[in-house]
A and B are shown apart, each in its own frame.
Chain A
Amino acid sequence: MVVYTQEHVYRHPWDRVTAAAWRKFTDPASRTALSHVADVHTLQRRVDTDAGRLHAARSITVRSPPLPFILRRLLPAAAASPSGAAICHCVETSVVDAPRRAMDIVVRNVSLRGIIEVEERSTFRPHPDRPDDWTQFRQETTIRCRPLAKLAAVAEKVETRCAERFLQNSAKGREVVERICRYLEAEAAGAAPSAV
């Protein structure tokens, strides 16, 4: 099992950063940066207008990096593609507590759980030093290969490869959120650039 954590400080207020986080996968200008994301759908949403809470679940369909041949043979046909990549559905569950200015996101894979389990937990909170200006982002990712005794060595390689890929994609995701924040900032100032 591999567990790692990441932190980042956005020098933008919480409302802007979380608005940007919602747009991360659906913003057309982000398609190139996040090319591993094939499709996103909202599957559930609920707004509690008394408590100021928003709950949502989205599906995120991703293309995995090409897998080693031995693992490709384990894939269900539906998830395989000719290049050796796998098509994998993840579900992202988000809760935003507006009065507390808290956004919590959990992403888990729902496909291929017989082979690998990935869980990514992220939080967005006002930064303790400058709560009205900055936002603290924390993320913990857990990657666990299923115990396929004979494949333990391969499984370890896959965990490492997945972890590397997740780190890369996580960095890209932060860049995208930063860019959308700048766009929203300009828009709020009444000078929205025509292209993001």
Chain B
Amino acid sequence: MVFGRSKPSSSTPSPEASTSSASAAACSELRAAYHECFNRWYADKFAKGQWNKDDCAADWHKYRACLEEHLEDKHLRQILLESETSPSYAQLDPNSSSRQGSAPSK
């Protein structure tokens, strides 16, 4: 179990069913609302040249607040919490050492 409120109570790892985590369950409706808004806005406006307005900011803030409360995995939490403070997350090459050619190599 990687995220979720309930810790495994015994030494046996949780079954695979538990991968639909508590954070997913708690935030699923807000996530669905955000996705619906985003998918429509992206397809109908942003990708077609109307990028002057972000239609889904309100839905995103609600969804994000829920994740902030329920997301437990520490790596993912760190990324979530960075979002409002650091504008640098968007860089695609934080530790890029991999600019090799294409063919399989050693």
Contact = CB atoms under 8 A, between A and B. Distances in A.
A41 B24 contact: yes
Contacts of A169: none
A96 to B, nearest CB: 8
Nearest to B51: A52
Interface residues of A, number: 56
A143 to B, nearest CB: 10
Interface of B: 1-2, 11-16, 19-21, 23-24, 27, 31, 34-35, 38-39, 42-43, 46-49, 51-54, 57, 60, 63-64, 67, 71, 73, 75-76, 79-80, 82-83, 87, 89-90, 92, 98, 100-106
Interface of A is mostly: strand
Interface string A24-57: 0010000000000011011111110100111101
B19 A39 contact: yes
Given A3-B101, A49-B51, A142-B98, A111 B75 contact: yes
A57 B89 CA distance: 8
